[in-house]
Amino acid sequence: MSSQVNQEQGVQGGEQQDGSQTVLYTRKRGYDITRDPHLNKGMAFSLEERLQLGIHGLLPPCFLSQDVQVLRVLQNYERQKCDLDRYILLMGLQDRNEKLFYKVLTSDIERFMPIVYTPTVGLACQQYGLAFRRPRGLFITIHDQGHIPTLLKSWPEDDIKAVVVTDGERILGLGDLGSYGMGIPVGKLALYTACGGVKPQECLPVMLDVGTDNEELLKDPLYIGLRHKRVRGKAYDDLLEEFMKAVTDRYGMNCLIQFEDFANANAFRLLNKYRNNYCTFNDDIQGTAAVAVAGLLAALRITKTKLSDHTVLFQGAGEAAMGIADLIVMAMEKEGTSKEEAIKKIWMVDSKGLIVKGRASLTHEKEHFAQAHEEMKHLEDVVKNIKPSALIGVAAIGGAFTEQIIKDMASFNKRPIIFALSNPTSKAECTAEQCYRLTEGRGIFASGSPFDPVTLSDGRTMYPGQGNNSYVFPGVALGVIACGVRHISDEIFLTTAEVIAQQVSDEHLEQGRLYPPLQTIQEVSVKLAVKIVENAYKDNTASVFPEPEDKEAFVRSQLYSTDYDQFLMDSYSWPEEAMKVQNVNISLD
């Protein structure tokens, strides 16, 4: 029997030899059991467990199975009037009963993902003052500088394998939401578990609150963060430096730190600063890149072309665009195209127009993709002039792909590739229906937020692919954590894109899907993690030894189970009255 002990909570777990059931021993008793979301099973505690744990009488006398509890949650879910209420209901369940929360999520991930993740999580962040019930994760402020190691000790779990951190400055396409941005790390880590099987007790959401420049929030009486302008410069950098060191000092250099929703000015430089020194990645840059390139690789099976045959135009030149462009270049190089030639196939439009050589005030990242061309201001004109075969929207400008742009894409492409990747739905560059209708069903479409199926005039029903980062970060995290990868390279994200694209069947492509159905996302994550583990041992980048012979079995052994554990008191710490219970002949009839 393998076991795991948490000294703080006095919880010890062991899995039986056949892996069929986990038995937990805990020193906690009574009321504390029913208020601990990691331990609480609600009315599913057996009579024996209730007696031994000292909770008999604290619960109604009825016994409800986990399946019945799921049914009760679903009935309550249906009674809610809007998605925000559904979000609050599910987050409340997570606060009370963790196993049941994840059992509900995984029972129909396609149904619940839009609630705990995009697009509803964006609304929840905007109204986090209303949605906030109890703290999940750590709130570290600029005024805590010098004391971050002490704050980390406040967190009750000692064995943290993954941290998702934000400073709230660029939440989805909604801008600076300050401390309200905590909904993003919480939601991301919920998907670490629901989609990737990472154990929730090994995950830590963190908000670095340095203030906000959002005047509406500063005046909002319900705002939960610091009420002053954002602190920048050296003080900000010193806070990040202390945070990174404190996390790895406490949880080890293998602890995965995912950066989430930092503004462009900080996202690129922080990634470049820390990527070779810590186990870290930026999901907005690298995760979005992997899922977008996965969609492109799947689309190539429809167009019967190579990636290097395409000209790609981006609406937007921020974190997402740069990340996708860099990975496209890497993929084209893998096909045999030189880096210089690959870069020439990528064009970008930002708020000031087409990015060209000699244009004033270009950042280092934008200069990398600046082309030798006359300046052009409007996307419609750029599309007509450049004639791209793939158009990718990542600027969070709703409706940016106008009717004329979509028709133009269809006029010079047999199968135009149109990706409207901005979140939430209100920021999408176009809808699935607009793309399919205006291209007469020839458009190859993907979006960042979910869209309903579209039935065409010829009777075909198209199922638009959702380029959801949840195809990427849970599986990457599972693989990286499992084998102890110290540094996350861009090659991992190209591998990720290839694995995801391989999971798309020919039947899916005929239906318009560029991604595997969301119902299969857990298996996609496992396949992705296995590939990462295999490559890590080949490249000598793994730090967990001995190397497992069966990599898939090794990964699956790491997965979190949503089934309830069996609880027994640790016999070495039972009080005298509990010891007597062992000799009672308990009848459950």
List residues with catalytic annotation.
117, 188
Chain center to CA of 335: 29
Of 551, 545, 508, the C-alpha closest to 528 is: 551
In this structure, the dihedral spanned by the alpha carbons of residues 435, 440, 445 and 447, taken in order and rounded to 10 degrees, is 30
> What are the beta bridge partners of residue 95?
none
DSSP string, 193-219: HHHH---GGGEEEEEEE-----HHHHH
What is the CA 357 to chain-centroid distance, rounded? 35
> SS3 sequence, 463-521?
CCEECCHHHCHHHHHHHHHHHCCCCCCHHHHHHHHHHHHHCCCHHHHHCCCCCCCHHHH
Determine the number of helices (DSSP H) and then strands (DSSP E) in the chain. 26, 18
Which uninterrupted H or E stretch holds 391? strand 390-393
Find out whether 203 and 160 touch, Cβ atoms under 8 Å. yes
Q: H or E stretch including 256?
A: strand 256-259
DSSP string computed for 554-570: HHHTTPPP-SPPEEEE-
**How far from the centroid of its chain's Cα atoms is residue 471's Cα?**
8
- For tokens 């595997």, the residue is 516
From CA 400, how far away is CA 171, in angstroms rounded? Answer: 20
* Nearest of 350, 346, 407, 412 to residue 376 by alpha carbon: 350
Which H or E element spans position 462?
Answer: strand 461-462
